[in-house]
């Protein structure tokens, strides 16, 4: 006897179109099968189920049927308005609501079954060409069947009907799950029957609401087995997922973006990498915000859309405060390049923050993002999830190619060492800049050091960060006795050097002048000697000339005498002279 | 006070056991309490699913009493007759004077109606 596979198309899946859920389930819910959706009250079952239908219609053109056992369809449609799904336009042809609430005046006499409803639904499904169906709050109907055997029978009937009609179904059930996530009877057996079971969980940890989704089983498919936080956001369900294994890596680039501080760029060998995540840690008041503001300004100057999320202060305060150090953000807010978000008003879990940031950044099409400070995520009640949220923030911004600068506040009481930012995200960040106070000679000065910067050569020196009206500068460093000098000591050292330089310059000048004077003097002497020499030469020439003349005179005189005497004595004498 | 004729509409799904049982129970109830004063319309939703949809018949079998006014919906195999009789104005208190009643009907049975029916 051979066993024929009942449904060879098991691998095909019906995408839910819900952010994150399709990633967790590897593509969607099992097509043509039943998915059980279990959760406590207010856990978001109806929204998830309805969104499954709406996305099916809008994205896949798969009409759907919603069987409402608990609420009137009018209320469900009204509630869905807040998500902007615009159900009324779908109602005519694509989406059918069955109001299956048991009437209040219903009289029960003996047992009954759901076959009438299934027959009616079958007719409607055929009419619509429905591919998806939701039974919302089936427990309401099951509760009318007091007999557990009858309940089980009706569940099997429903399951068989779904399979026979090849509808992808979601059945939601109210059930409080215990700490292990398994359901209480009497519906527990349903988990064994269905092909996929999803559990929604809504807990309050230290006053902060945390919603989690977990796929408990998925026949014939691998899935992410962990609890994933989710959020019911502006446009519906969003499940937070980390990038799962096997998904493509984000593109990396060698492009550098300026940190907004010229000399910091030099220290980093050109700036931050585009798409990198930068962590700036420091104690309160160490100019974390200012440094991130400089980055935002530089990004806006390049014309890149930027979003600045401040958890500490209002947007206007941030702009004013940054204005005092020469970072003028106002103009960029006005022309729309910069979007300032004050997140003080957002309350809720770390997940809420993350989803809001992601949504806003998407809306703004931000290429650069500043989150100041990211450590807010770990405030009370969020410790459990804050780390993974921060991880996902970095992960997400990388995947989107967004250059992320986040600051992280270090608790001054915790440790003065540089290790361990509160969220442990320092390992994930590509560049980690640490700011702290160095106390020296009765002064507290801001020191900046680059602890790490992946893939770039970077300066190993602690530099002093100076804030002034003109902006942020990173100073030259002076070391003395192994310490970097800062503040007044640096200034003193600087001015001492300046003095020394000036004195040197003066000395050189003086010496030059002296030498010039000597040179001039020597020149003068050379000239006078030359004149004297000329005089002597002339004198000598004159002397020689006069001597010659004298001789000639003598010669002439002698000849004249001889002529006058008429003797040849002069001849002999002349011959004797030869 | 009581109408001359009681109108019933019973929605069933083919020959499902619950449906067959309901038909039998209704017939017996009518014969016992309303001899010759009743009309029963049987609607098989398998044959007319659209009607079930428009009239919101989701649980079968469902009995709708149209008269006396106001109408009522009774869901189930109709094995527990007392609530039905009350709706029809034929409850234990109301029918004290009727002859030929069995003791069983006079005392409402709240527990396990299915078992008592069998």
Phi-psi region at A70: left, alpha or beta (left = phi > 0; alpha = psi -120 to 50): alpha
Are the beta carbons of A112 and B59 separated by less than 8 Å?
yes
Q: How far is CA A284 from CA A35, A303, A373, A535, in A?
A: 50, 31, 11, 89
Q: How confident is the model at residue B3 (pLDDT cuts 50, 70, 90)?
A: low
User: Maximum distance among all alpha carbons in chain B?
Assistant: 44
Ranked by mean pLDDT, the top range of A357-371, A378-392, A531-545 is A531-545
Are the beta carbons of A116 and B22 separated by less than 8 Å?
no
Are the beta carbons of B46 and A119 separated by less than 8 Å?
yes
> Given strand A208-218, what is the order of strands in its sheet?
A95-99, A64-68, A132-136, A168-174, A34-39, A196-205, A208-218, A228-233, A236-239
Question: What would the pLDDT profile of B50-108 be if each residue is shown by its tens digit?
Answer: 888 888 888 889 998 877 677 788 888 888 888 888 888 777 666 555 555 444 444 44
B39 has pLDDT over 60: yes
Question: What would the pLDDT profile of A292-322 be if each residue is shown by its tens digit?
Answer: 889 999 999 988 899 998 887 888 888 888 8
Closest residue in chain A to residue B113, using alpha carbons only: A110
A279 has pLDDT over 50: yes
- Specify the pTM: 0.66
Among B25, B59, B80, which would you mutate to test the A interface (most chain A Cβ atoms within 10 Å of its Cβ)?
B59
Q: How confident is the model at residue A409 (pLDDT cuts 50, 70, 90)?
A: confident
Interaxial angle between packed helices A315-323 and A288-301, expressed in degrees from 0 to 180 and rounded to the nearest 10:
90
What φ, ψ does residue B30 adopt, rounded to 5°? -65, -45
pLDDT at A416: 44
Of A28-42, A334-348, A490-504, the poorest mean pLDDT is in A334-348
A128 touches chain B (CB under 8 A): no
- Section A53-79 average pLDDT: 89
Q: Which residue among B13, B16, B76 sits closest to A109, beta carbon to beta carbon?
A: B76
Ranked by mean pLDDT, the top range of A17-26, A406-415, A509-518, B38-47 is A509-518
Q: β-pairing, A483-485 with A29-30?
A: unpaired
pLDDT at A577: 45
Question: What would the pLDDT profile of A225-257 be if each residue is shown by its tens digit?
Answer: 777 778 787 777 777 765 544 455 566 778 888
More confident site: A177 or A287:
A287
pLDDT at A381: 55
More confident site: A441 or A215:
A215
Of A303-317, A406-420, A490-504, A533-547, the poorest mean pLDDT is in A406-420
Q: List B residues 23-52 in contact with A (Cβ-Cβ < 8 A).
A: 25, 45-46, 49-50, 52
A529 has pLDDT over 90: yes
pLDDT at B16: 85
- Would you call A5 helix, strand, or coil by DSSP? coil
CB neighbours of A557 closer than 8 A, spacing ≥ 6? none
> Which residues make beta-bridge pairs with A212?
A201, A229
A211 has pLDDT over 60: yes
Interaxial angle between packed helices A569-577 and A487-565, expressed in degrees from 0 to 180 and rounded to the nearest 10:
150
Asked if A450 contacts A431 with a C-beta cutoff of 8 angstroms, the reply is yes
Are the beta carbons of A112 and B53 separated by less than 8 Å?
no
Q: How far is CA B38 from CA A75, A192, A485, B4, in A?
A: 40, 47, 108, 8
- Section A166-183 average pLDDT: 72
B113 has pLDDT over 70: no
A101 touches chain B (CB under 8 A): no
- Section A536-540 average pLDDT: 94
Are the beta carbons of B16 and A115 separated by less than 8 Å?
yes
A104 touches chain B (CB under 8 A): no
A280 has pLDDT over 80: yes
DSSP secondary structure of B34-52: STT-EEEEEEETTT-HHHH
Q: How far is CA A348 from CA A513, B8, B12, in A?
A: 78, 56, 52
Please tell me whether the peptide bond between B68 and the residue prior to it is cis, using omega within 30 degrees of 0.
yes
How many pairs of residues across A and B have Cβ atoms under 8 Å apart? Answer: 108
Q: How far is CA A235 from CA A70, A79, A232, A384, A510, in A?
A: 23, 12, 8, 26, 80
Are the beta carbons of A98 and B49 separated by less than 8 Å?
no
Are the beta carbons of A119 and B13 separated by less than 8 Å?
yes
A576 has pLDDT over 80: no
Asked if A100 contacts B103 with a C-beta cutoff of 8 angstroms, the reply is no
Are the beta carbons of A119 and B78 separated by less than 8 Å?
no
A185 touches chain B (CB under 8 A): no
A524 has pLDDT over 90: yes
Q: How far is CA A297 from CA A27, A275, A303, A339, in A?
A: 41, 17, 10, 12
Q: β-pairing, A431-440 with A443-453?
A: antiparallel
Mean pLDDT of chain A: 81
Q: Which residue has the tokens 């992410």?
A: A224
**Min Cα separation B22/chain A (Å):** 9
Burial class (CB in 10 A: 0-12, 13-18, 19+), A26: middle
pLDDT at A226: 78
- Section B14-18 average pLDDT: 86
Q: Which residue among A100, A109, A122 sits closest to B78, beta carbon to beta carbon?
A: A109
pLDDT at A92: 77
Q: How far is CA A521 from CA A514, A530, A534, A535, in A?
A: 11, 14, 20, 21
pLDDT at A246: 46
Neighbours of A234 (CB within 10 A): 12
pLDDT at B117: 45
**Min Cα separation A74/chain B (Å):** 16
B91 touches chain A (CB under 8 A): no
Closest residue in chain A to residue B20, using alpha carbons only: A112
Are the beta carbons of B45 and A113 separated by less than 8 Å?
no
Q: How confident is the model at residue A182 (pLDDT cuts 50, 70, 90)?
A: low
pLDDT at A517: 95
pLDDT at A547: 93
Question: What would the pLDDT profile of A327-365 be if each residue is shown by its tens digit?
Answer: 888 889 898 888 888 876 556 677 777 877 888 888 888
Question: What would the pLDDT profile of A129-143 be if each residue is shown by its tens digit?
Answer: 999 999 998 888 888
- Residue B10 and residue A525: Cα distance in Å, rounded? 144
Among A98, A116, A135, which would you mutate to test the B interface (most chain B Cβ atoms within 10 Å of its Cβ)?
A116
Both tokens of residue A184?
A: 């209480």
Candidates A476, A445, A485; CA nearest to A282 is: A445
DSSP at A566: T
A19 has pLDDT over 80: no
Neighbours of B78 (CB within 10 A): 29
**Min Cα separation A123/chain B (Å):** 6
Q: How confident is the model at residue A512 (pLDDT cuts 50, 70, 90)?
A: very high
Share of chain A above pLDDT 90, in %: 14
């Amino acid at each position: 006897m051979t066993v024929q596979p009942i449904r060879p198309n098991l691998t095909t899946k019906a995408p839910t179109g819900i952010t994150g859920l399709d990633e967790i389930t590897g593509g969607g819910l099992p097509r043509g099968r039943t998915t059980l959706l279990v959760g406590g009250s207010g856990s978001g079952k109806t929204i998830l189920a309805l969104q499954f239908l709406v996305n099916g219609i809008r994205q896949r053109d798969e009409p759907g049927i919603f069987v409402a056992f608990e609420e009137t369809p009018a209320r469900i449609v009204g509630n869905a308005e807040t998500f902007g799904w615009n159900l009324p336009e779908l109602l005519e042809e694509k989406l059918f609501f069955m109001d299956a609430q048991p009437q209040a005046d219903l009289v029960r006499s003996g047992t009954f079954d759901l076959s009438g409803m299934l027959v009616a639904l079958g007719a409607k499904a055929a009419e619509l060409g429905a591919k998806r169906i939701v039974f919302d709050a089936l427990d309401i109907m099951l509760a009318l069947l007091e007999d557990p055997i009858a309940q089980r029978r009706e569940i099997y009937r429903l399951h068989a009907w779904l399979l026979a009609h090849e509808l992808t179904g979601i059945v939601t059930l109210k059930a409080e799950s215990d700490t292990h996530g398994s359901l209480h009877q009497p519906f527990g057996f349903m988990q064994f029957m269905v092909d996929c079971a999803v559990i929604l969980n809504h807990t309050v940890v230290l006053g902060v609401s945390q919603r989690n989704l977990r796929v408990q089983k998925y026949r014939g498919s691998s899935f992410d087995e962990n609890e994933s936080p989710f959020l019911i956001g502006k446009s519906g369900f969003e499940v937070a997922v980390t990038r799962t294994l096997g998904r493509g890596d984000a593109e990396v680039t060698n492009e550098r973006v300026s940190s907004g501080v010229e000399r910091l760029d030099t220290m980093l060998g050109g700036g931050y990498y585009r798409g990198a995540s930068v962590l700036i840690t420091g104690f309160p008041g160490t100019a974390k915000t200012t440094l991130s503001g400089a980055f935002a300004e530089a990004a806006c100057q390049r014309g890149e859309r930027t979003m600045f999320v401040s958890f500490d202060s209002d947007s206007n305060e941030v702009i004013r405060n940054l204005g005092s150090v020469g970072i003028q953000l106002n103009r960029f807010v006005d022309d729309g390049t910069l979007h300032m978000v004050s997140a003080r008003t957002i309350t809720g879990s770390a997940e809420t923050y993350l989803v809001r940031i992601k949504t806003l950044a998407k809306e703004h099409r931000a290429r650069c993002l500043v989150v100041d400070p990211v450590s807010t995520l770990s405030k009370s009640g969020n410790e459990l999830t804050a780390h993974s949220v921060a991880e996902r923030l970095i992960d997400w911004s990388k995947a989107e190619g967004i250059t992320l600068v986040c600051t992280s506040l270090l608790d001054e009481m915790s440790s003065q060492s540089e290790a361990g930012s509160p969220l442990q995200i320092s390992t994930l960040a590509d560049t980690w800049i640490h700011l702290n106070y160095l106390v020296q000679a009765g002064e507290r000065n801001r020191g900046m050091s680059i602890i790490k910067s992946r893939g770039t050569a970077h300066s190993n020196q602690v530099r002093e960060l100076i804030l002034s009206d003109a902006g942020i500068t990173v100073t030259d460093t002076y070391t003395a006795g192994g310490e970097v000098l800062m503040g007044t000591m640096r200034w003193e050292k600087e001015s001492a050097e300046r003095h020394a330089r000036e004195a040197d310059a003066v000395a050189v000048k003086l010496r030059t002048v002296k030498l010039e004077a000597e040179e001039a003097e020597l020149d003068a002497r050379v000239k006078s000697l030359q004149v004297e020499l000329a005089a002597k030469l002339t004198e000598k020439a004159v002397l020689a000339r006069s001597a010659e003349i004298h001789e000639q005179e003598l010669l002439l005189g002698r000849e004249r005498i001889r002529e006058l005497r008429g003797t040849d004595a002069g001849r002999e004498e002349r011959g004797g002279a030869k | 006070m009581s109408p001359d004729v009681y109108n019933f509409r019973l929605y069933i799904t083919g020959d499902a056991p619950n449906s067959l049982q309901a038909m039998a129970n209704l017939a017996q109830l009518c014969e016992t309490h309303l001899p010759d004063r009743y009309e029963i319309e049987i609607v098989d939703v398998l044959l007319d699913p659209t009607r079930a949809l428009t009239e919101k018949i989701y649980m079968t079998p469902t009995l709708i009493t149209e008269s006396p006014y106001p109408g009522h919906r009774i869901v189930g195999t109709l094995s527990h007759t007392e609530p039905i009789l009350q709706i029809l104005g034929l409850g234990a208190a109301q029918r004290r004077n009727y002859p030929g009643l069995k003791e069983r009907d006079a005392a409402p049975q709240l527990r396990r109606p299915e078992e008592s029916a069998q």
